[in-house]
């Protein structure tokens, strides 16, 4: 299972496209660096806003 988590984490963090993680309730729970750059906010700021 650890290998799958590592792969997922790598794909999320290193994806050149903006990626958002939203839970089943519609809450934003994560963004990658490309999303931060696109939106102009740090992940911590985005998670507080939305």
Using alpha carbons only, give the angle 33, 39, 44 rounded to the nearest 5 degrees: 60
Total-model pTM: 0.81
| pLDDT tens digit sequence for 4-26 | 999 999 999 999 999 999 999 99
| pLDDT tens digit sequence for 23-50 | 999 999 999 999 999 999 999 999 998 7
**H helix count then E strand count, the chain:** 3, 2
Question: Which residues touch 18 (CB under 8 Å, ≥6 apart)?
Answer: 31, 32, 34, 35, 38, 39
Is 19 in contact with 32 (CB distance < 8 Å)? yes
């Amino acid at each position: 299972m650890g290998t799958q988590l590592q792969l997922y984490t790598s794909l999320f963090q290193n994806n050149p496209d903006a990626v958002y993680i939203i839970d089943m309730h519609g809450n934003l729970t994560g963004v990658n660096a490309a999303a931060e750059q696109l939106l102009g906010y740090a992940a911590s700021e985005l998670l507080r806003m939305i």
